[in-house]
Structure 1
């Protein structure tokens, strides 16, 4: 019986990544694949990346997004389409005057192509994606053992950049898929453009309208109502934008590396993968091989974000339903079509799931709409919209479990003391930022 070669045996060198999440990636069974040495391995990684700043290579992400969006026709909106969108939004904003205490938030109105949507929403997507990407990349690159980093030499410092470049492809794929489906700039529930900038995408609205049995004019007007309602809410609630983005930052801050869990995932997904093929490695990483398990802190942040997004969408749903009563017979059918689109895994759910690990639960949206409608019926429009004065006043997950019971028995909005009123006024005068998602804690 022959002896097993020791770790110093040149015929069977010990895998320096043994016991780490990178063991399977850089050679199962204790040896490096195909006789490659560390310099060759890191050379493969370096070949996948180009110089860039920040946690993600946004040039790669945007190029990938544009290419994905271009897989279907993307004509520039005609002047006639732009005029139709402007007229629909103007009428929608007029209808909303009687349904909410918030004034119009629209400054400009336009029609976008898919490519224009990608370009004009990039700045906000960076705010949403980069905190998560930065925490994930730094955590993964930091998992490399010190002795391995020393053996790798200068190339070890580029591991995080390589992973960031590959994650950029995943981000680009997600944004490109979203660009092929999104109907307006507010379609995902988060303000993706500059405040007051309303936009709809006629190219995507046309296929959405097919088979609904509703006129194209009604479809356009209904979607314009939803866009105008989103604009009013975010303009009337200055802290809401930061509240949502802050929850994503809280999620990123909670990233924790579970070496065993990552290693098990790597080993499972590495089966049959050619590590010498850069495209194969890219597909592997885009498939979520390095997706990190959620920590308790992340789960809490995602719950806050999920509830806040459900409350936004539920409020829009309720306000639009109120505005279309006795005005648009087809509104009920369109409302259900929008809800089914979300329930079937629409663009909002898929993008948040891919980029930050969040899936919106349609049940929460319906519960939120019921809650807002019930509160308005019992206490009026001012009381319903007054809940948005502070994140501390927003309904909780428990409230959404019993939407008809939210503030049950209250006859009027809770009165603020003079000190409370002065404090809220100072916040608005100071810029209306309000407390962040993290400050609101479990009340959100």
Structure 2
């Protein structure tokens, strides 16, 4: 039968036989590219082929081609071929220098050890991709596992022998599909972000701040504000974000662990995947690509995921609210500061197309929905105890305000004001519970005493000498 007369099912079965029969070196890259449904250049296709051959040669179990994600992201980010001009470099260096001085007047958190950078879109991809990989890996593993199971279940009976024992290869193919989609999203995101902290999570290496001049120019095009004022505001905000994460060393791990905690709870909708696999047409693979991009393979969030998402949103809002207030105080000299600040807040609340695509891909939207409420809390704290008392709340994790403080900052303000006066703050529910615990009044204490397991003169202090 001529190649042109083969049905899509025949073509798919032939590809599977080539894969599982040990002939990865003979697979036509164009055929695999059609199966993946992605517009990948030949260099990227060679990466996929090498990864498949590595799987046959006994490579790492379940390896995911993050190199493919990087190639895909850089391919998109570097399409315009533009770098940073000398004029852009000079203007942003001056903005960073003045922003550093202004910021030092608004916060007690110290300056960065390294000078801020101006990055191309490709430079941003290379700097941030390790964090994207860390955040996306739990979801990529889940999709690869589910794809392995679904395609095995849908394989014809006469091919089950070939499919069995090929789990590593199928995980590699599924993981590579996801990695390529992640690369497309990150590459597209590189055309939207203005600075290193623009997404709200610590993507840049510790202690580094950066602005992307290409995207900065696009951001300011429709704002109708002087470019030098916009540069000063964006530089100040970026430095505030980077300073905070460098000062509170625990904060970076705290944010990333909450994101990965959410991502580990993401599981693929196996029914949707099996239904997709049952009608999968290798001649028209766009449906699989569309399912990955739209999030159709991710089921509705569980209660545990909703709780994890609420904790993450509160954490991001607390961070962004502090950055917002410190930036506002530092840029109070700028006539257009309020207008720029409102544009930044709206932009963060809405997100761009690539950010929305990221949400569909991993089921997570990194938007601080409560940033205005958190900013109001930080403003109340600043008015009450000043920048020094406010910034001290970032010294230790247990000092950081929580969701209840965002809802009603009055109790937090009262405690901070009492401490500033040298007074003991009024006890709260935690203090009362701790006092009862130390006094031996925990629930069940009476029952334990009735069973002969309570305090005795030999076991500890008499009742009238218990600490209070």
TM-score if structure 1 supplies the norm length? Answer: 0.75
- Structural RMSD (CA): 3.3
Q: Residue in 2 aligned with 1:122?
A: 129
Following superposition of structure 1 onto structure 2, how do residues 12-411 of structure 1 map, counting pairs within 5 Å?
A: 34=9, 40-41=15-16, 47=32, 48=36, 49-52=48-51, 55-70=63-78, 73-138=80-145, 140-141=147-148, 152-256=163-267, 261-264=269-272, 267=275, 274-278=281-285, 281-325=288-332, 327-346=333-352, 349-350=355-356, 352-402=358-408, 404-405=409-410, 407-410=412-415, 411=417
Helix, strand or coil for the counterpart of 2:370?
helix
* CA displacement, residues 3-56 of structure 1 (integer Å, 9 cap, x when unaligned): xxxxxxxxxxxxxxxxxxxxxxxxxxxxx9746786655758983543446653
Helix, strand or coil for the counterpart of 1:407?
helix
Aligned counterparts of 1:57 and 1:331: Cα–Cα separation in 2: 44
* CA displacement, residues 195-250 of structure 1 (integer Å, 9 cap, x when unaligned): 22221111111111112121111111110001110111011101011111111232
CA gap of 1:292–1:55, structure 2 versus 1, over 3 A, is farther
CA gap of 1:263–1:342, structure 2 versus 1, over 3 A, is same
Aligned counterparts of 1:321 and 1:167: Cα–Cα separation in 2: 40
Tell me which structure has the larger Cα radius of gyration.
2
* CA displacement, residues 296-354 of structure 1 (integer Å, 9 cap, x when unaligned): 443333332222211111111010001122x1111000000101112222378536514
CA gap of 1:357–1:390, structure 2 versus 1, over 3 A, is farther
Q: Is the 8 A contact 2:405 2:411 kept in 1?
A: yes
Deviation at 1:272, TM superposition (A): 8.2
Which shifted more, 143-152 or 111-120? Answer: 143-152
Q: Is the 8 A contact 2:313 2:368 kept in 1?
A: no
Q: Is the 8 A contact 1:65 1:118 kept in 2?
A: yes
Helix, strand or coil for the counterpart of 2:209?
strand
Aligned counterparts of 1:108 and 1:37: Cα–Cα separation in 2: 54
Aligned counterparts of 1:288 and 1:162: Cα–Cα separation in 2: 19
- Counting matched residue pairs gives 379
Which shifted more, 284-293 or 143-152? Answer: 143-152
Helix, strand or coil for the counterpart of 2:210?
strand
Residue ranges of structure 2 left out of the alignment (5+ in a row): 1-6, 25-31, 37-47, 52-59, 425-468
Helix, strand or coil for the counterpart of 1:250?
helix
Helix, strand or coil for the counterpart of 2:232?
helix
Aligned counterparts of 2:14 and 2:423: Cα–Cα separation in 1: 66
Aligned counterparts of 1:416 and 1:296: Cα–Cα separation in 2: 41
* CA displacement, residues 405-441 of structure 1 (integer Å, 9 cap, x when unaligned): 3514221459999xxxxxxxxxxxxxxxxxxxxxxxx
CA gap of 1:107–1:239, structure 2 versus 1, over 3 A, is same
